[in-house]
Structure 1
Amino acid sequence: MLNLLLRRAFTPPSAEETLKHPAYPSTIWALEPHQKGKCEVGKGRPGGPLKIAYEIHGEGPTRVALIMGLAGVKTSWQRQTKYFGHDHGDEYSVLIFDNRGIGDSDKPLSRYTTGAMAVDFIELLDFIGWKEERSVHLVGVSLGGMIAQEVAYTIPGTLRSLSLISTTAQYESGPAKSWTDALWQRLGFVIPKSEEQGLIDTSRQLFSEEWLAAPDDAASLPSPKTTPRCGPAPGSPDGEYRAFDSNFQRFQAQELFKRRQTGWFTRQGFLCQLIAAAGHRKSPGQLKEIAGDVGRERIFIMHGTADKMITVANGEKLIKHMQPGVGMIVDDVGHAAGIDRPDWFNGLLEERFIACNKLMETYTYTT
């Protein structure tokens, strides 16, 4: 009933209104990387060779790699990038990148799989020199969590910790029995509709009605004192980060920005990523193998009961088969906790990083 009342009371702004909003120029935060570039991957593989765009924020000894989900770009991590790579950049080095099919990375027309996308990432780790034993804290959300499972299956010894957020070993929602069934269930993503309606529908899959209608919560976060990436805010030569009228409008602005960058978002790339997500499968035996090779005490799995994109049953099955050191089913949390609950989410991740760093101290001492 509350959701229905909020939906009636809240009128989403139009795209034109958001594009003209004083906060729009600072939609993407000015988080200048300490290192960035493009890495060629995929030589001799389907769709290759191709280039993957990446950034490293921070210069600290603790290495964190973040893998984004379906149609997400590296700037979608900006709340985590800021906290770990800038506010605490002397402690952390944070790798963010665009998966094949999105953003500044190449978008080959081929059959994408989570396995192939994992190899893209592994080759990127080779390129930047992040392949030492137990050197990387790996975090994957949604499709990124599926890719992270494949990474962990392939190079478990490289991982100091593995965090799987709002993801699944095999997409299940209702009666899906195969990846083709699951793909048909996601047809809502590809049925033609207006851009505005598409963003509204997507926002309601990712976030609660209450959060979408609430005032822009990012306005309360400390802002970097540099010029925003998409130009200085009008009347704000110091690069002030202004508030949108609602959390929905900030999400809408980020999506509009992504879709208006030349070549960042294509229907072809989106569909190829969607097929990869729908086709992902890790059997119970493979999940147990991953857990044993990475180390159950190094694994963190979190899923929210309010997740409408990948339902909570998927997270429960991951926890059942992997028996992680920390497994959390959290009431009232949706699909994108890193955006709508950033302080809480960042704190959870940091607790895991610290705990697994201590495991390394114990290992070094005993050996």
Structure 2
Amino acid sequence: MDLSNVTTVEETLKHPSFYDATWNLQPTRSGHLPVAAGRGGPLSIGWEVHGEGPIQIVFVMGLGSFKSAWQRQTLYFGHEHYKEYSVLVLDNRGMGDSDKPLMRYSTKEMALDAVEVLEHVGFIDPNGPADSRSVHIVGVSMGGMISQELACLIPGHIASLSLCCTASAIENTSPTIWENIASRAALIIPKGVEESVRGTAGRIFSLDYLVKPDDAQVPAKGTHLVGPPVRPADAPATTSKADWYQMFDSNYQRFVAQEMNKRKDPRFSTKGFLLQLIACGWHHKSTEQLAAIGDAVGRERILVIHGTADQMISVPHGRKLIDSIKPAQSYIVEGMGHAPLAERCAWYNQTLADHFANGEKLSGRTPKE
């Protein structure tokens, strides 16, 4: 089984649903916040809050991706269950709606950016008690590295911490450090678009997932603050005239549509990608520092998830996090790739919902059973 017979990029660009790949999830509030004064800034961070519920979540995205890459989680928590949750998504510096300054990036600096946004939107109170336990942090890949830094900066504000498909450092495991770094660099090395997109898909997702029919749960009509697809005025005649979201032929084709929409978007920055990549390469948390995160946040509040088929950050990195932090809950998922937010979406959303409920209970915001 391989990707030799899947739909091509050219065919996907002509697919009627090409412009439907990114959903029109309208935020409850949004803005741009100047951050990093005294830290090389100010620079602007684009953010959105979806939902109006009391359970406050921040989803921290990984390398080279927009905040809209969390759309399946944003839809589920911030729209379908908007009265229960408030969901913050933001673009890390270097990508999307955020500024892309030419300077040294680090996961700690990006975490400090996120802290300023969290304070700005009211998810944490800088003048309140240090043990408010007011926010649930979810980070994937580079976002998981940033989340480790958040755990060092604001441990008492964290109701729960979810570290997904991430690492304390890119280490000389199997695959080696050079193979792990090459997997990221290969995302932007010049090559034919077909080879590039196919290679990216294979590094992020398991082959078994990619070849299956499209299984996305698209927004249902009438979902709170979800609008119809946004299609450009100059879209080709083949573009769907349907007033709602349509399906693709396979999970791979949906990924291709999302990837090509991103690459065509002027907010995507190769410079920003490279600067984020450097931040990933320099991220490091020792065994002792990981244990200290467990102590400070509370192991009963921490979840670690990794897939055995992850070709971006190999599974020994996830096992190290588990062995060092000793979280109360952890999953090494057989056959799963680097993006459970899509590949195991229903399971992932439910697992996170249960973890959030546990964090709320530990924080005294739900009746004890």
TM-score (norm 2): 0.90
Match of 2:241 among 227, 235, 238: 235
1:281 is matched by which residue type in structure 2? Answer: H
The question of whether the paired residues in 2 share the 8 Å contact of 1:145 and 1:166 is answered with yes
Distance 1:221 1:208, change over 3 A: farther
Are the equivalent residues in 2 in contact too, given 1:64–1:95 (CA < 8 A)?
yes
**CA–CA separation in structure 1 for the residues paired with 2:254 and 2:286:** 38
Alpha-carbon offset, residue 210 of structure 1: 2.0
Q: Residue 306 of structure 1: CA displacement?
A: 1.2
Structure-2 residue corresponding to 1:195: 193
* Counterpart among 271, 280, 284 of residue 281 in structure 1: 284
Deviation at 1:220, TM superposition (A): 6.5
- What letter corresponds to residue 17 of structure 1 in structure 2? E
Aligned partners of 2:206 and 2:296: how far apart in 1?
Answer: 37
Tell me how far apart the structure 2 counterparts of residues 75 and 101 of structure 1 sit (CA, whole Å).
15
CA separation in 1, counterparts of 2:176 and 2:3?
Answer: 33
145 and 219 in structure 1: CA distance in 2 versus 1, 3 angstrom threshold: closer
Per the alignment, in what secondary structure is the counterpart of residue 218 of structure 1? coil
> Which residue number corresponds to residue 245 of structure 1?
249
How far apart are the structure 2 equivalents of 1:181 and 1:209? 19
C-alpha contact 1:102 1:270 (8 A) present in aligned 2: yes
Cα offsets for 1:52-91 (capped at 9, x unmatched): 0010000000000000001111110010000000000000
Task: Give the Cα–Cα distance (whole angstroms) in 1 for the partners of residues 97 and 54 of structure 2.
Answer: 27
Aligned AA (1:298): R
In the alignment, which of 12, 24, 31 is matched to residue 30 of structure 1? 24
Between the two proteins, the alignment pairs up a number of residues equal to 354
> Is the CA contact 2:23–2:71 (under 8 Å) kept in the aligned structure 1?
yes
Q: CA deviation at 1:165?
A: 0.3
The equivalent residue for 1:214 is: 212
Shift of 1:185: 6.6
Q: Is the 8 A contact 1:173 1:310 kept in 2?
A: no
1:306 corresponds to which of 305, 309, 321:
309
Kept after mapping to 2: 8 A contact 1:38/1:54: yes
CA distance in 1, matches of 2:264, 2:167: 31
Q: Which residue does the alignment assign to 1:226? A: 227
Distance between the aligned counterparts of 2:217 and 2:343, measured in 1?
13
CA contact (8 A) 2:183 2:312 kept: no
User: What is the distance in 1 between the residues matched to 2:165 and 2:231?
Assistant: 30
* Contact 1:304–1:335 (CA under 8 A) maintained in structure 2: yes
Question: Counterparts of 2:314 and 2:356 in 1: how far apart (Å)?
Answer: 26
SS at 2:103's partner residue? coil
- Which residue in 2 is equivalent to 1:6? 2
CA contact (8 A) 1:66 1:140 kept: yes
CA spacing shift, 1:136–1:267, aligned 2, 3 Å: same
Q: Which amino acid aligns with 2:270?
A: R
Q: Is the 8 Å Cα contact of residues 306 and 334 (structure 1) preserved in structure 2?
A: yes
Whole-angstrom CA distance in 1 between matches of 2:183 and 2:52: 43
Whole-angstrom CA distance in 2 between matches of 1:66 and 1:247: 23
Distance 1:25 1:123, change over 3 A: same
SS at match of 2:124: coil
Q: Which residue of 1 aligns with 2:363?
A: 360
- Distance in 2, matches of 1:62 and 1:174, equals 38
CA distance in 1, matches of 2:366, 2:17: 49
Q: Deviations over 1:235-255 (max 9, x none)?
A: 22xx31111111111111111
The 1:359/1:189 distance shift into structure 2, 3 A limit, reads: same
Aligned residues of 2:138 and 2:164 also touching (Cα < 8 A): yes
Q: CA deviation at 1:290?
A: 1.0
Query: Deviation of residue 181 (structure 1)?
Result: 8.9
Matched residue of 1:301: which SS?
strand
Distance 1:347 1:88 in 2: 12
For residues 275 and 317 of structure 2, the distance between their equivalents in structure 1, rounded to whole angstroms, comes to: 22
**Structure 1 residue 285 displacement after superposition:** 1.0
Query: Unpaired segments of 5 or more residues in structure 2?
Result: 126-131, 234-238
Contact (CA 8 Å) 1:206, 1:309: kept in 2 or not? yes
**Partners in 2 of 1:124 and 1:152 — Cα distance?**
16
Give 2:338's aligned residue: 335
Residues 212-251 of structure 1 show CA distances to partners (whole Å, capped at 9, x for unaligned) of: 1111111666455631234596322xx3111111111111
Structure 1 residues 39 and 300: CA distance shift in structure 2, 3 A: same
Distance 1:173 1:166, change over 3 A: farther
Rounded Cα–Cα distance in structure 2 between residues aligned with 1:177 and 1:220: 38
Distance 1:206 1:219, change over 3 A: same
Provide the residue aligned with 2:73 in structure 1: 80
Q: Is the 8 A contact 1:146 1:167 kept in 2?
A: yes
- The residue that corresponds to 1:151 in the other structure is 150
Structure with the bigger percentage of helix:
1
Confirm whether residue 100 of structure 1 aligns to residue 93 of structure 2. Answer: yes
Per the alignment, in what secondary structure is the counterpart of residue 108 of structure 1?
Answer: coil
Question: Offset of 1:146 from its aligned partner?
Answer: 0.1
Contact 2:8 2:194 in 1 (8 A): no
| Correspondence 1:131 to 2:124 | yes
The alpha-carbon distance between structure 1 residues 155 and 21, as it changes in their structure 2 partners (threshold 3 A), is: same
RMSD: 2.2
Shift of the alpha carbon at 1:190?
3.8
In 1, the alpha carbon distance for the partners of 2:365 and 2:20 equals: 44
